[in-house]
Structure 1
Amino acid sequence: MSILLGLIFISPSYGQEVLVLTLEESVKYAIENNVDAKNAQLEVMASKGIIGENLAKGLPQITGNFDFTHNMLIPVVFLPNAGPFADPNIDSDVVPARFGVDFQSALGVRLEQMIFDGSYFVGLKAAKTLKMLTEFDKEKTENDIIEGVKKAYYSVLVNDERRKLVEANLGRLETLLHDTEALFEAGFVEKIDVSRIKVQRNNLNTELDKVVTGTAISVEMLKLQMGLPMNSTIEISEKLSDLNEKAEIASLLENDGYRRVEIDQLNTNLVLANLDLKNNQVQYMPKINGFLTYQRSGASLDFNSLWQSNNWFSVSTVGVNMSIPIFDGFSKSNKIKQNRVQIQQLENQKGFVESNIDIERFQAKANLKNSLKALSVQDENRQLALEVFQMAKIKYDEGVGSNLEVVEADSALKEAESNYFSALFDTLISRVDLEKALGIL
């Protein structure tokens, strides 16, 4: 919340909190508040718990137990009705005898300690490697968030500039319409000349509505990418000229790139796959555990006397057990084969991703160069279209040009301006794509 507080500007007119944002501030806020970023951070925290869980398996395991039994019907044991057990009063070849007491209880504790288990040490290393993977996943998530925030931020700037330009064009047309209506009333132009300009004005009003809506949508998308509440009010404090310096773009085009987190993710997955292989291999080794138990047992024919100390007796044991795998139907062998196949798949995937990154960097640089060329052309076209409109307007004002010529020049100017902003947006998006490809987001 420290970033949020640093961005709040209180409007004295309305008393509403407005977030005045730069691109850097937007990115920082998103890294802390975007839902995906929060979940990625939670995954890192969970991986720390997994490390502790695996470590605990090698520590002493102590359990306690308490039993209480009321033998409502004492179990019967059958003895032969002969010899010392003969009972002449029973007409049977067996004698039923009840052995036991009405009440029994036991209280004990058991300590177990792992002495050797190959899987334990592999599991510890795997848990630490998993934590590394979650940190790389977090970095990848943050890169995706930065990419989304930058593109949304640029979209807001471009749409806002487009809105300002359309409003300026609309004001110019309103002035032209006012002058033409005055000339019509004076009888110097025909009604069709007024109608042409009205059509242009109506079309421009429609375009303005679309641009205003597009600007509002881009603002909402920026808030969503940042993790801002949707009822927040934001303002952009930077201009396109501040974020599109030629020196920075030239530096990007000359950059060969840095490490990509996707390769780190694959390398870590390879380590995990090899650890899984090793874990299945050590399953052929025996497992050794030691144990110590201590128990007090008591019994009585009466519930109250059950708890007297003279009715309780102690027993204690200490020992070691060893589990030796002999034959499992080739289960471990088949798991090992699967591990080796998985490792080969990951190595193949790593080679493909490395090649794909090289192509991605080449393509991103080519796209940015083409976008810059297109932007330069559209900027020149916009300047030329503006000159054509201004000359047509001067000729019309001096009575040597037609109203139709002015309207056509205005249409060409609007088209040139629309093409320019489309090229500008494409350039900004291409720049973000190149930053991502180079690994410098």
Structure 2
Amino acid sequence: MRKILVLILLTVTLPLFVRAQDVQELSLKKAIEYAVEHNKQLQSSRKDIDLYRQKVRESVSQGLPQINGKLDYSTNFGYKMSFGQGGTIKMKDQSNAKVTASQLIFSGQWILGIQTSKIAERLASQQVGITELDIKENICNTYYAILVSERLRDIVRQNLENMDQIYEHTQNMYNAGTVEITDVDQIRITVGQLKNSLSSIERNVEVSYNLLRLQLGLQAESPVKLTESLDYFLKQEDFVKLGVKKFEIDNNPEYQLSQTQEDLSKKMVGLQKWTYAPTISGTYSYNYKLLKPDFDMSPKHSAGLTMDIPIFSGLQRKALLEQAKIELEQSSLNKSLLEDQLYVNEKQYKYELKNATDNFFLQRDNIQVAKRVLENMQRKYEYGAVSSLDLTQANNNYLEAENNYTNACLTLLQAELQLERLYNELSY
């Protein structure tokens, strides 16, 4: 019986365990697509579009026919009205069923209100687009940060393996009496520093993976594997094309948003102007007497037209109109300011991209030189031609060159990314 229970338990839990260990393999494009679909911040932003879509329907419905029904009943508890000399009239109970239909015939505010609601919906859609663009940019930055950290981790790990071998070789030389204990200590300290550096980098890598999981909308500790290498993105050399590309400001999402905000402010001015205009509406009523008195003069059918004419509101309408005009001026100034800022940003980003490109090529050449110097020092050290201090200095120079190159790679990719973000061309 116990064996059967164990078998059932394994049958139920094993598939769950296997699924839990599935690794999410992600290219940058796949990571972005996954985030666009599952990122919780983006999902919340998309609800704004649905919200404003319903507000448009609300605005439209105000101009559609409105039909209401009413059913009432009243009683006077058999009260009799006396006319003197014994003459009385008994007040009968009354009950009415009434249907009223009303229709807005003309209202400038209603027409402009629909247009304003549609612009607000477009504004919400553009804001969602900007949020989506921010998510894509954040995914790219985190993806790049992981790649450069993993590259540096692999470099330090390989270097640690080499220094371990050198440390063992130095220990053997000391045992043979060919070097001093200070040489052993020097290499040992270098090995210890490399181990600390490796542990720190590994922690940074895990932190970056946790950030990526959060951005993707994955659960914590979900296994993730990046399928593209750092060299893959560096070989694209899109930064060369971006450096000479012309900036089309109308394609920038923030500028598009400012244009829509200006359009919305214009409609709000028009909306306030229409508060001075009359509103015309019509009504129709059908009244059916379920219980009626003996003498009843009320008609079953009735209809009417109503014109509401605003005359004086204590200057409230004028104040609201002036507020809308001021807000329109602010929107226009903000759009003009944003335009100036975007052109300044473009020049700054291109300047940063040029500097990052030059530094990238410089640091790439530098690590080749530092690597050759280190390999030369290692050979000389094995033959006793240089001291352990010279070797550790060369090793430190090489690691510094690798670190500088790694930082240059990340700076270059980030400079490229912020210019693509400005151009609205995150095309991964």
Q: In the aligned structure 2, how far is the partner of 1:30 from the partner of 1:246?
A: 23
2:286 equivalent among 285, 290, 294: 294
Residue in 1 aligned with 2:253?
A: 261
CA contact (8 A) 1:368 1:431 kept: yes
CA contact (8 A) 1:256 1:438 kept: no
Structure 2 CA distance for partners of 1:428 and 1:282, relative to 1, 3 Å: same
1:374 to 341, 359, 365: 359
Residue in structure 2 matched with residue 36 of structure 1 by the alignment: 41
Mark the runs of 5 or more structure 1 residues left unpaired by the alignment.
1-9, 88-96, 301-305
Q: How far apart in 1 are the matches of 2:204 and 2:257?
A: 37
Residues 116 and 14 of structure 1: CA distance in aligned 2, closer, same or farther (over 3 Å): closer
Preserved CA contact (<8 Å) 1:255 1:438: no
Distance 1:32 1:347 in 2: 35
2:114 aligned to which of 95, 104, 124: 124
Matched, 1:181 2:168: no
List aligned pairs for 1:92-171, cutoff 5 A.
100-101=91-92, 103-171=93-161
Structure-2 separation of matches of 1:172 and 1:13: 37
Q: Residue 14 and residue 323 in structure 1: after superposition, are their counterparts in 2 closer, same or farther (change >3 A)?
A: closer
**3-state DSSP of counterpart to 1:245:** helix
Q: 1:277 to 1:182 in 2, by over 3 A?
A: same
Does residue 54 of the first structure (1) align with residue 73 of the second (2)? no
Closer/same/farther in 2, CA of residues 292 and 246 from structure 1, 3 Å limit: closer
Give a deviation string over 1:286-345, Cα, whole Å, max 9, x none: 111111111223448xxxxx9xx999x973311111111111111111111111111111
Computing the radius of gyration from Cα coordinates, the structure with the larger value is 1
Counterparts in 2 of 1:110 and 1:202: CA distance versus 1, 3 Å: same
**Percent identity between the aligned chains?**
26
Q: Deviations over 1:183-227 (max 9, x none)?
A: 111111111111111111111111111100101111111122222
1:120 Cα deviation from its structure 2 partner? 1.1
C-alpha contact 1:374 1:423 (8 A) present in aligned 2: yes
Alpha-carbon distance in 1 for matches of 2:379, 2:53: 74
- Aligned partner of 1:65 in structure 2 is 70
Matched to 2:390, the amino acid is E
Alpha-carbon distance in structure 1 between the residues aligned to 2:148 and 2:425: 23
Q: By how many angstroms is 1:73 displaced?
A: 9.7
Task: Spell out the pairing of 1:270-285 with structure 2 (5 A cutoff).
Answer: 270-285=262-277
* Pair 1:218–1:15, CA change in 2 (3 A): closer
- 2:185 matches 1:195: yes
The residue that corresponds to 1:320 in the other structure is 305
Deviation, structure 1 residue 367: 0.7
Q: Deviations over 1:47-67 (max 9, x none)?
A: 222222111111110011122
Aligned-partner Cα distance in 2 for 1:73–1:23: 85
Map of 2:371 onto structure 1? 386
Alpha carbons 1:147, 1:432 under 8 Å: kept: yes
Instruction: Give the alignment's Cα RMSD to 1 decimal.
Output: 2.8
- C-alpha deviations, 1:110-148, integer Å up to 9, x for none? 100111111111011112212221221121111111111
- Alignment length (residue pairs): 408
Amino acid at match of 1:391: N
Q: Which residue of 1 aligns with 2:339?
A: 354
Q: TM-score, normalised by structure 2?
A: 0.88
Query: What is the CA–CA distance in structure 1 between the aligned matches of 2:186 and 2:328, rounded to whole Å?
Result: 71
> What is the TM-score with the length of structure 1 in the denominator?
0.86
Which is worse superposed, 181-190 or 31-40?
Answer: 31-40
* 1:35 aligned partner, one-letter code: K
Preserved CA contact (<8 Å) 1:276 1:339: yes
Choose from 240, 243, 247 the match for 2:230.
Answer: 240
Q: Distance in 1 between matches of 2:402 and 2:47?
A: 47
Equivalent residue for 1:221, pick from 211, 224, 236: 211
Report the CA distance shift for 1:366/1:246 in structure 2 as closer, same or farther (over 3 A). Answer: farther
The alpha-carbon distance between structure 1 residues 70 and 140, as it changes in their structure 2 partners (threshold 3 A), is same
Q: 1:107·1:295 contact (CA, 8 Å) conserved in 2?
A: yes
Give me the whole-angstrom Cα distance separating, in 2, the residues matched to 1:432 and 1:73: 87
Q: Return the offset for 1:18.
A: 1.0
Separation (CA, whole Å) in 2 of partners of 1:424 and 1:272:
43
Q: 1:71 to 1:412 in 2, by over 3 A?
A: farther
Q: Is the 8 A contact 1:257 1:440 kept in 2?
A: no
Q: In structure 2, do the counterparts of structure 1 residues 210 and 298 end up closer, same or farther at CA, with 3 Å as the change threshold? A: same
Alignment partner of 1:249 is 2:239: yes
1:299–1:396 Cα change, 3 Å = same
SS at match of 1:278: helix
Cα displacement (A) at 1:70 = 4.9
Q: Residue 212 of structure 1 aligns to a residue in which SS?
A: helix
- Displacement of 1:13 in angstroms is 9.0
